[in-house]
Chains A and B, each alone.
Chain A
Amino acid sequence: MGRTTMRWLALVGTVGAVFAFGPTRGLTPSDHAPADVREARARPVADGVQSDAIPGNLVVDLVDGSGDADLAALERILGHDLDWVHELARDEALASGPVPDLAAALSALHAHPLVEVVEPEIMMEAYGRPNDPMLDKQWNLVDIGMDQVWTTGATGRGVVVAVVDTGVTKVQDLEGTHLLKGASFVPGTSTAADDQGHGTHVAGTIAQTTNNGVGVAGVAPGATILPVKVLSGAGFGSSAWIAAGIDYAVDEGADVINLSLGGGYSSIIHNAIKKARDHGVIVVAAAGNSGRSGVGYPGALEETIGVAATGPSGERAPYSSWGKGVDIAAPGGDKRTAGGGILQDTIDGKGGHVYAEFQGTSMATPHVVGAAAVLLGTGMAPDAVERTLLETARGEGWDEKLGHGRLDLATAMGARSGLGMGKFRFLLGAVLALLVAQLASTRGSYQLASATVSATVAGGLFFVPAWLLGAAGFLSSPALEWPAAFIGFGFVTFPLWLSVLLPSAVGFTLGAFRGTRPIAAGLATGSGAYLLHAAATGAVAPSWLPGTVGTAWLAVNGILCLLVALGLAGAQKLDEQELR
């Protein structure tokens, strides 16, 4: 067997190993979502209140396939020019530009048939703590690592979270949160408005409007809340109402379902939850507040993530149930300590609102739900999200009090790029680049340069301490995800971004010159490694491409990237031969 054959076998073997040893992919979030919910996913996070609006700057998402003539039509309405955001995003038809009267411009374009979404251009923060004035009282957010999460810009944008509870009312500090209409399954009530206070508080922990200079913050402020009222004003619901509410949430395209409720076993609710899981929906439920052994249902079900509660000390809260069925623990509050409850905005029962401290596994559950939404929003597949949440929880193995341990969203986010996936992707990028360069028998310097670029593209600078990177924390992610820090994760899960397009474009430009060719080759192999790893593990799922279609997209484009790199290496070899 010749050396070239051996090199080819090594390349094919490496690619094969990624698939052979990578965990099975799950479903793409809400492939089943109906059109109105899909539309909701593309809507603004919170009309510009999550992050600081740039006065007068507008960003417009035109109907896909729109061209210059369509953009010109909008410019005539505005009386001002807009520019396409980026050539790579032309399929998405994103345009932006300054306008003198932002409110008038938003109003003029909001219902225009050429416009899918229009919103103020927002800075996805150059990131730090949100400016919500009561944030200092939210020890719970610090506890799950939100200080680090905020530096990533991940907000769960585009993820639909069903709050199956007493309903949700759009109180003051939910004003900027995207709330769907939802539905009520409680006889005698016609809307999903909250008449108890529990559901609104839960929704706040998940997606309280954040960085709006008002009140408190939430875990996933970019998520869309689907209110599903299944509990009466007394806080009680029948199994029929709850099962119907879960079915409805699935049909409406929920990606995650929050069940801060519990009781005895119900097969009808169990079936509804099984259906949700079959659709790739993550179901998170409270472990119960008995303060003794025995987890309540549905938290005890295999199909749910059962959540126990901790207080500010990190210890199990005294009311939190324990035993088989507890999967993870999260802050639920312990009011024996002053300020030890979970603070969120909710209704006050008199037509107003109040910032209230509650405690309970009901309060712990939405932390896990919000964390799941944040991870889903970065493009992770549901199975990978569940696995990551449990694997990164702070604990030593499983125990009956705290399950796999305390929720750690910062580590979960880091696991996407850090010493877990990051290290593997980094090595994969380097190995593939070396193999490709070896196939063409290129010089050592070319191999070294392309392998360095490739490893960075695929794995990022995960090995640099976070304190050193500071606000540039995004550099620890794969380079292909760096744009997420500036324009959101929606961009880096865009199918054309997760494709051979960029490596090809760079290959035709930088790849044309001997000096910059290793960079182009590194980008191509790094992209190939990233895409193949994503296809094998579900670490990233391309938007809009469901399940196996998404996997196939990633795999095919990953291989095409490697072929681009091979072509560049071949060109390099020819150049080197000519020079001799």
Chain B
Amino acid sequence: MTWRGRLERRDLGTGVWVLHTTDGTVALYGDVPGELDGKAVVVTGKAVDGMGIGMTGDAMVQVDQVKPVEGS
């Protein structure tokens, strides 16, 4: 699946990534390049049920790939 939105790095624990999409916010687990903080991106991955260290209250996505949206 893919999600589009703006990335945000939250200073919680060791650091948590969330993606603000038009449908709400999702929490991202996996490798996210730090330089994309604040940028519009396309995230490829899968929605997962489970628990994590972020505890942002959002749906969780296990990240396969994060790509910046060109021109963002």
Q: A residues within 8 Å of B by Cβ? A: 165-166, 196-198, 201, 231-232, 234-239, 241-242, 260-264, 266, 269, 286, 288-290, 292, 294, 296-298, 319, 321, 335, 358-363
Contacts and interface: CB of A to CB of B under 8 A. Distances in A.
Contacts of B12: 289, 319, 358-360, 362
Given A261-B55, A263-B55, A236 B13 contact: no
Nearest to B63: A234
Contacts of B63: 234
Nearest to B62: A236
Contact of A236 (B29, B31, B56, B58): B29
B1 interface: no
Given A235-B13, A235-B29, A289-B12, A321 B57 contact: yes
19 contacts: A234-B52, A234-B63, A235-B16, A235-B53, A236-B48, A236-B50, A236-B51, A237-B52, A242-B50, A242-B51, A261-B52, A266-B49, A266-B51, A288-B55, A290-B55, A319-B12, A359-B11, A362-B13, A362-B53
Interface residues of B, number: 23
B13 A263 contact: no
SS class of chain B's interface: helix, strand, loop or mixed? loop
* 4 residue pairs, one from A and one from B, having the closest CB atoms: A290-B57, A263-B51, A236-B29, A262-B55
Contacts of B49: 238-239, 263-264, 266
Contact of A197 (B14, B51, B52): B14
A231 B13 contact: no
B30 interface: yes
Scoring B29, B48, B50, B55 by chain A CB atoms within 10 A of each residue's CB, the highest score goes to B55
B45 to A, nearest CB: 11
SS class of chain A's interface: helix, strand, loop or mixed? loop
Contacts of A361: 55
A234 B62 contact: yes
Scoring B13, B58, B63 by chain A CB atoms within 10 A of each residue's CB, the highest score goes to B13
A197 to B, nearest CB: 5
A486 to B, nearest CB: 39
A234 B30 contact: yes
Contacts of A269: 51
Nearest to B50: A238
A290 B50 CA distance: 16
Nearest to B53: A235
A363 B29 CA distance: 19
A231 B31 CA distance: 15
Contacts of A238: 48-50
Contacts of A264: 49, 51
B5 interface: no
